[in-house]
Structure 1
């Protein structure tokens, strides 16, 4: 079982050092090799204090993807690309398109490298999501918001404009960082937007679903 605990000391590594600690993937990449790569990427992320989604969250997102089988996925905040690759791991089975972004250049560059290494065809944007989202077109039927918590409301408003009529919007970390999302919760209540929160005990947090 993968540990969700962060290490006491943060491990600082260059991208080359990160890749040296990960298994080499040879084409064609089978499911076992990909899963092993991602497990090790997550474990390394714990040492580096990267806020990747937990294994329990991955399991839940995978179940949602299998149920919904979305064709056009949008992720806001990819960090080093781990969460995006976990989405792609399942959604590639039915040829879903995935668009993601991150405001941190080191994170963007590392995600780009992992996507290429895993032969994952993912559209990756670098920059502020608040500026990127208005430039996107197309109906997204699955949206994952997992970026700067104080901007959750702004991300939600912009992302909702890009959502298809049957879209599912998932917002991460809605329990642990609720105090940073006060205006977001106020917006939901003011506009009578229904939502469901699923607690993820292993992560000591939860996700919000807006259908």
Structure 2
């Protein structure tokens, strides 16, 4: 039994911003996973572990096959599902993934040992804010799916390590629609996330050195392309 997550965990990701009947259509009509990825997705759903839903899975498969990145950085490993999905989507890709949760790290290590036969995935343990400065390589694709309030904290480190032309995908940025509500209407325990996400939007959506797009899929995806080497972020 998984201890880190329960039925009440990740409340906002259970409130997709798209109509329920469209969400159901997206999750059932598109090509389904098979083999070990299907098993991992089923396990995550049973245990309330936050992994990307099927509509995002299919979108990732398309996007990664189109972009064909050579080096991927992931913030938020969980059980390793998305890292393994990305590995399967781009043959030969090298993936570095970071997580701080000991229980999830144990699951991920077990899954990588079973299914990453060519050692394409490197798992780094610890707080992303501490681990990121120690990484001395560049990436052309980044996936962030971790503490939502920390996205804006991680972003400067990420941009430093992203190649010009590289793409960042940030998951769960709508918080069930809460991001557009006045902060006074947000539960106190969620206000740090609300502030962090809106600060993120302020920093990137109209930044002249980035191309950014919000995708109303699942609980919202923010896509960012780095257009120039030096990107200034207004974090005040």
What is the TM-score with the length of structure 1 in the denominator? Answer: 0.78
Q: Which residue of 2 aligns with 1:198?
A: 215
Q: Secondary structure at the match of 2:133?
A: helix
Tell me how far apart the structure 2 counterparts of residues 189 and 77 of structure 1 sit (CA, whole Å).
Answer: 23
4+ residue runs over 6 A deviation: none
Gaps of 5+ in 1: 1-5, 11-33
Q: Which residue of 2 aligns with 1:28?
A: none
Tell me how far apart the structure 2 counterparts of residues 190 and 61 of structure 1 sit (CA, whole Å).
Answer: 25
Identify which range, 96-105 or 180-189, moves more after superposition: 180-189
Tell me how far apart the structure 2 counterparts of residues 199 and 189 of structure 1 sit (CA, whole Å).
Answer: 15
Deviations 1:129-161 (A, max 9, x none): 000110001110000011100001011111111
The size of the alignment, in residue pairs, is 178
CA RMSD of aligned residues (A): 2.1
Q: CA deviation at 1:190?
A: 7.0
Q: Secondary structure at the match of 2:216?
A: strand
Are the aligned partners of 2:79 and 2:105 in contact in 1 as well (CA < 8 Å)? yes
Which residue of the other structure, out of 99, 102, 106, is the alignment partner of 1:105?
A: 102
Q: Which residue of 1 aligns with 2:132?
A: 133
Q: Secondary structure at the match of 1:111?
A: helix
Tell me how far apart the structure 2 counterparts of residues 134 and 106 of structure 1 sit (CA, whole Å).
Answer: 24
Q: CA deviation at 1:188?
A: 2.0
Tell me how far apart the structure 1 counterparts of residues 203 and 43 of structure 2 sit (CA, whole Å).
Answer: 37
Q: Which residue of 2 aligns with 1:23?
A: none
Structure with greater contact order relative to length (CA < 8 Å, sep ≥ 6): 2
The answer on 1:185 being equivalent to 2:201 is yes
Q: Secondary structure at the match of 2:211?
A: coil
